[in-house]
Each structure stands twice: as structure tokens, then as C-alpha cells.
């Protein structure tokens, strides 16, 4: 069974803002999609993150680079959030998730990391229940 969890924040009252409500997860699920909508599009990129017990469901899109003169390894553009680009009202994310499932007994929360000047944000997280047969075969 698919479940869609919806979070909403009217305005970013300073950053970051946790969006309401938080959801208790009643079964094991796999991640399917995250949809982000803003009634008023942001003027700069907006950032949203979704967490399971405090850990982001998104892959870290940062990358490492070695300085050729010093040999020092640096992480650049680190971040696990989803981005709603400036001027856009909506975004669909379906393929940038961590490999971990969303397990029974955890809490699903959402954070508006940076509103980017947008307002009335709605975030939908779609999950697909993992059947007991699938769990037993793993």
C-alpha cells in the first residue's frame, strides 16, 4: 500500500523551520517520491529536507576534491536537502534517496531549511509499504 505524508509551512519564520506535523511510521516502507510545491515561488533556491529519526532520506550531493598542491581533501557543496529552484513553484524528486528503508517505529519529519523568499510550502512524501513476503525473502 502506498502512503502519502503531507507537510506544510505557511511562511518561513526565520530559517530553518520544521514543518508540521511529524508522523509515526506504522510499517516498513520504501521511498518512492517527494513532491515540493510553493504557492509563491522562491526568489532564490529553496531547500527542504526530510528526515527519518533525524537522518535525511536524501543522498549527500557533495563531492570531495584534493588540492593538487597541498594534498588536502575537501568536501564541497555538501548537502542532503531537496532544492526548489528560484522561480519554480514545484519539483518532483524520485531518485536521489539513500538506500535505507523507512522502518516501522520511526518518525518522519520535514524541515524547510531555506524558504528562498517563497511562501506556502507543501511537501508530500510518498512511500510504498514493503510486504511481509518481501521482508522474509531478504
From 18, 3, 1, select the one nearest 121 (Cα to Cα): 18
Q: What is the pTM of this model?
A: 0.82
Q: What are the pLDDT tens digits along the chain (138 aa)?
A: 799 999 999 876 566 888 999 999 999 999 999 999 999 999 999 999 999 999 999 988 655 556 777 777 655 555 788 899 999 999 998 888 999 999 999 999 999 999 999 999 999 999 999 976 554 455
- Is 137 among the domain residues? no
- Is 11 among the domain residues? yes
- Phi-psi group of 87: left, alpha or beta (phi > 0 → left; psi -120 to 50 → alpha; rest → beta): left
Domain that holds residue 25: 2-131
- Is 60 among the domain residues? yes
Q: Is 98 helix (H, G, I), strand (E, B) or coil?
A: coil
Query: What CATH number does the domain containing 90 carry?
Result: 2.60.120.340
Give the chain's domain count: 1
- Is 136 among the domain residues? no
- Is 113 among the domain residues? yes
Output the pLDDT for position 69.
79
CA geometry: angle 64, 73, 55, nearest 5 deg: 50
Q: How far apart are CA 29 and CA 102, in angstroms?
A: 5
Amino acid at each position: 500500500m502506498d502512503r502519502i505524508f503531507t507537510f506544510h509551512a505557511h511562511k518561513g519564520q526565520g530559517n530553518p523551520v520544521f514543518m508540521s506535523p511529524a508522523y509515526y511510521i506504522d510499517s516498513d516502507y520504501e521511498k518512492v517520491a517527494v513532491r515540493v510545491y510553493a504557492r509563491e515561488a522562491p526568489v532564490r533556491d529553496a531547500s527542504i529536507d526530510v528526515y527519518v529519526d533525524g537522518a535525511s532520506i536524501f543522498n549527500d550531493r557533495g563531492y570531495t576534491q584534493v588540492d593538487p598542491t597541498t594534498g588536502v581533501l575537501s568536501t564541497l557543496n555538501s548537502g542532503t536537502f531537496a532544492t526548489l529552484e528560484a522561480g519554480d513553484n514545484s519539483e518532483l524528486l524520485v531518485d536521489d534517496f539513500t538506500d535505507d528503508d523507512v522502518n516501522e517505529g520511526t518518525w518522519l519529519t520535514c524541515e524547510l531549511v531555506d524558504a528562498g523568499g517563497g511562501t506556502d510550502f507543501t511537501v508530500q512524501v510518498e512511500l510504498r509499504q514493503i510486504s511481509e513476503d518481501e521482508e522474509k525473502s531478504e
